[in-house]
Structures are given as structure tokens and as C-alpha cells.
Structure 1
Amino acid sequence: MSDAPVKRPAGQNQLLIDLGPIVIFVLAYNVLQRLPATKENAVYIATGIFIAVTLAAIAYCQITRGRIPPVLLITGFFVTAFGGLTIYLRDQTFIQIKPTIIYGFYAAAILISLAIGQNVWRLLLGHVYTLPDRIWTMLALRWAGFFIFMAVLNEVLRARLSFDAWLNSRPLFAFGLIFVFALANAPLVMKHHVEDGEEGA
């Protein structure tokens, strides 16, 4: 197998891999809610679909790239664990707190890595950008704070919104805010990455 087919999906299909499972979850739930035969169990059937699509995305990455992105692997673990609890215990609370647990895990991983003299952000993205240590630390702290904010936001929305409203807001809050925050940090990254490249030229 040549290098080109392996690399192409990573660039062209990453958005689909990231967004696909949650979008399908939301769509499946809304469709099932409108069918009399599945209305009562819509959340549990949709959760099963969510788990299946997430595992399919993981398998797709392994087959087409020969590796699974760490973030997708972590997400898949929590989706399967909390989705499984939702179905087994017939309690939708577990799928609702899943984002809180994931965001908390990411924040803790970043802060713990910094505390032990490592930087998980640099480990994940160091092959893409060459940045000064202080910029890597700044980015790590920013993202840790952002993930804490997202965890708190999910709990606030979960407490104040109906399940339907909470679920339908997930794509916006899960990916919209992350996209905006990443975009806000892009100038810092590109500025120092370019400067580093010029210095090495």
C-alpha cells in the first residue's frame, strides 16, 4: 500500500470522523422520538447507534491510517463506557455526564503532565509545530482552562435544559466553541511557529 492512500483520509475525512458520531446520535434520537414504536426507548437506541458509529470511526482510522488518534481512542472509551451504562441501567444521566468526564479528563491530563515536567500538548502536536517551550506551556494552560470551562458548562446546561434541548445543543457547544477557541489561539501558534522557522532558515 502506498503512502498516498494512507495519508489522504487523515486530511479529507477528519472532520467527518470527529463530527460524525455525535451528529448521527442527535439525528437518530430526533428521528426515533417521532416514531411511535421507538419513542419510549429513543435515547437508548440512539445511544447504541452512537457507540456503534464511534467504534466504526475508530476501526476506520486503524484500517486506513494504521493508527488511532489518541483523542479518538479516549473518546471511544468514554462513549462506550457511559453509553453502555446508559443502556444497561436505563438512565440517560450517564450519557449526559459523559462530556463532563471527558473534558475533566483532558484538563487533568494536561495539568498533570505539566506538573511532572512534561507537556502533553507538545507530545501531541510537536510534530506539526515547532514552538518555544513557554508557548507550549501557555497553550497547555489555556486548553486546560478551556476544558474545565466546558465541563462546567455541560453541567449547567444539563441541569437547566430538558434532555432534548441539551442533546440538540451538543454539536454547537461540543464543536462550535472548540473551533472558535482553537481559531482564537491560531495567531499565537502561527506567529511563533513562523518565527522559529525563520530562525532556523
Structure 2
Amino acid sequence: MSPYLRLVLEAGPLAVFFVVNSSAGIMHGTAAFMLATSVALLLSWRLERRLPIMPLVSCGFVLLFGGLTLWLDDDLFIKIKPTAVNLLFAATLFAGLAKGRYLIKVVLGTVMELRDEGWRILTIRWAWFFLLLAGLNEAVWRSLSTDAWVNFKVFGIMPLTILFSLLQAPVLMRHQVQPETADPAGPPPAQG
């Protein structure tokens, strides 16, 4: 799948959430977010014949917390969903790290190949970043209006995540496993 299509499938549900919330309010926005997230996951499955781990987990949380929001008519649940997801991701990465496993490799290992030290650094950095996002989400939803929180969710979290990802480029370059190249002298002579 092209990176642009992947971005649309991951960011599209957030755009739907923002637009519907702006025009019809948080409850309608939440319902639309649940539907758009499910459709994006189904499209991802149809295109790749696999379900990416992070979007799958996120979809489960969107359906759970969005369902609670609609069922109980309380927007608290959709507001704490990013906190719960980010805490889960951070705890998972820290737990793996404590056991000497770099679980971020499970998510990114098909895209890139790094030496263990690179996976260790990325695991630590992403775990702390997820904790930061959880804290930011808590601060924003507790201190600002619902519409301001939605704006932060759409225009704050996604750009911060993209920026953080780009800032990891030096680690990726430094610890990338180089593919083995062919011997410049050519193949060994045939034995006869």
C-alpha cells in the first residue's frame, strides 16, 4: 500500500471526526468517528490482507470508548480514549523493554531493519512519547472546551506524532542494517 493511502486510512477518520463534530456536535462526531475508523480498518484489510497492529488496537478503543460515550451520553469517554490508548502503548513498550524485547520491532520490523541498539533506542523514545501524549491529552480535555479538545486531537496530536517520527531519522540512519552487496570482483570462478 502506498504511504499516501496509508496516511489517508489513518488520518481520514480523524478528519471525519473533526468535520462532523464541527457541524453536528461531539455525539454525532463520535458516531462518525466510530464508523470511519471501522471502514478504514476494513479497507486496510481488503488492500493488504492483514490488519496492522496499532490501527487495530486503536479501532477497538474507538469502538469501546465511543460506544460508552454514545450509550451513556457522556463525552468523557471519547476524551479519555487517547489517554488510555497512549498509556497502553507506553506500558506495552516499557514492559517489553524490561524483558529485553523491543516490541516496536513487531510494528515496524516489516518496514525497516535495524540493529538491536536502534530498536532499543526507538522503543525507549516512543514509550516516553506515548506517555507525553497521554499527559497532554489529559491536560487539554480537562482545561479546554470540547471543541478545543477536538482541535487539539486533530491538529495537535497528529502533527506532533509526525514531527516526532521525523526526528527519529538520525537513529534510523545510524542503526539501519545495510543490505549485503555483491562482491565487486564478481562471482567466484566456476570449479571444473
TM-score, normalization by structure 1: 0.86
- Counterparts of 2:56 and 2:153, CA distance in 1: 20
Pick one of 33, 38, 41 that aligns with 1:58. 41
Which residue is equivalent to 1:14? 6
Q: Alpha-carbon deviations, 1:34-91, whole Å to 9, x = none?
A: xxxxxxxx22122111101100011111112111111110000000000000000000
The one of 5, 17, 26 equivalent to 1:25 is 17
Q: Give the CA deviation at 1:131.
A: 1.7
Shift of 1:127: 2.6
Q: In the comparison of the two structures, how many residue pairs are matched?
A: 181
1:175 to 149, 158, 167: 158
Q: Provide the residue aligned with 1:197 in structure 2.
A: 178
Name 2:59's counterpart in structure 1: 76
Partner SS, residue 99 of structure 1: helix
C-alpha contact 1:10 1:65 (8 A) present in aligned 2 = no
In 1, the alpha carbon distance for the partners of 2:40 and 2:15 equals 13
Identify the range of structure 1 (124-133 vs 56-65) with the bigger mean alpha-carbon deviation. Answer: 124-133
Q: Secondary structure at the match of 2:118?
A: helix
Once the two structures are superposed, the pairs formed by residues 24-43 of structure 1 within 5 Å of their partners are 24-32=16-24, 42-43=25-26
Normalised TM-score (structure 2): 0.90
**Residues of 2 paired with 1:166 and 1:43: CA distance?**
11
Unaligned 5+ runs, structure 1 = 1-8, 33-41
Structure number with greater Rg is: 2
Among 90, 96, 99, which residue is 1:113 paired with? 96
C-alpha separation between the residues in 2 aligned to 1:168 and 1:126? 32
Tell me what 1:44 maps to: 27
Q: Which AA in structure 1 matches 2:50?
A: R
Contact 2:104/2:123 (8 A) holds in 1: yes
Greater helix fraction, Structure 1 or Structure 2: 1
Asked if the contact 1:21/1:50 (under 8 Å) is kept, the reply is yes
- Contact conserved, 1:23 with 1:171, CA < 8 A, in 2? yes
Question: Distance between the aligned counterparts of 1:66 and 1:77, measured in 2?
Answer: 18
For each residue in 1:90-133, what CA deviation from the matched residue of structure 2 results, as whole angstroms up to 9, or x when unmatched? Answer: 00000000000000010011011112222111122223222221
Partner of 2:189 in structure 1?
Answer: none
Tell me by how many angstroms 1:13 deviates: 0.6
Unaligned runs of 5+ in 2: 182-192
User: What is the CA RMSD across the aligned residues, in angstroms?
Assistant: 1.3
Partner of 1:149: 132
- Map of 2:147 onto structure 1: 164
Counterpart CA distance in 2 for 1:16 and 1:182 is: 17
AA aligned to 1:185 is Q
